[in-house]
Structure 1
């Protein structure tokens, strides 16, 4: 029986060299040339507007009036004006309430419950419920806002249901508008959380549940001790995405309440719109937009700390 041994290079012959591409291994102008159109588009349509927005935030640029004809640099005056404006802090508070109620609590809890129920539901029920929830999600924001406005209106579906069972009619668009728009955002955005958590639940190994059941853990204990720790990356990621999306919600609130009555549902996007386009103060409105961006960045950093170390790499 013979075995093949590696053949040693013959004396006097040079070892085989690695073949290199004619362009080499470095990034050369010739290699980078196909990326030039994409770089131009990114600079022109993303970096350019971002830099211009930062510039506007430090000026008194306006649509009409003094700032429209002669724009001047005002430094941090726009930010100081915001910090001393009671309407700004009212919008910050309402934005936090809207985000916590509709995104952090509402969409995440409803999404988790629906994902858990759909995991054990019959295929027909699962398909029907998923289709209804996703249909609400893919509706344009303006359409969803109008539908929810008619639901909460004086003669809408909500009051029709309440009066039919003997309960007094409600007027949430005037008595509690921030809660009405929060419920609307939950109705519209829960599908995303449900899909994220359904995918995360499907990746949990079944033998882990079997081992926990053999150890005597009930359904609640298995959910707390097994499901939630394994879904921690999905939960943190979903919290971050839903929070950032909710911070920028504009059309839904604008259609339902317009920020009223008496600014009771005026979140930061609507306050920014009012200052920039209703009052014509583009510089001040852009400064508020940058502050909203900082709030979103701070929230993202908090959620990133919730991720396991291996997920951050």
Structure 2
């Protein structure tokens, strides 16, 4: 049944809205809560009503262990309709939500229980690690996207994902895998769910990259050498010395003799070799001298030693997918409504979410 308080009047025509609700209700009545892959049954409805986002929710009732489906239908810019259907003699919508003690418990050690809210109090340090908080928000955004636009994996893809998961963690034998699962309190079903979730996220990243391409040149790298000076005048003199040399400029060679060339013995405070994105140095050619630039309490001069274009391959594709995913998350974060139910709200990060 549609819960009255969750239904929002939309701007679409009454006929279209009525047809959508009728089709959706028919789908819910046909779904078997015990059937795996029920999300696939939603695809024909999505195809018939492409202007709406849809998310299928599975709810297991603690009172009688029965399971039911709910459906969220979102019209962008208008609102969300929540639809559910309850078979005869099952717990209806208004009576759901009873919570068992185990659902609020995080773990128990030697019979000593630890509730989730207690654990959050012990983990106050989490509020100092905004990167961890960002990842929690990111996972919520990912779960929402995968619920509305699932990534389907066949048996072969899941087996490949499981093999890759085990190799990445050194779980090369059944005994090693069993020990790893025991240490984490995981059963085989939980392990398969974990692997399937990781594979779905990888599929999501690939889909985002296809929809929001990233230019491969953004991954080009530049190798530079940087020399630091205590004063701007010393850095200027060093640049003039490098550029005044005949033949190819070589900051490293000049830097090795710089201390003797300057009257101040402590003029050079350090020399370092770095690899940075080519964009960070303006995509200049190898041999170009940059600076001087303010650098902390001193000044630095750099020279581009070499530029390395990104080459096609699996590693580059993964980096491009990660970059596209980071930008997708940042866009979603700006439009997200985020509510924290524990910890000091003043510490809640408000900037773009980093994805890692």
TM-score bracket for this pair, using the shorter chain length: under 0.3
- TM-score of the two chains, using structure 1 as the length reference: 0.24
Q: Structure 1 or 2: larger strand share?
A: 2
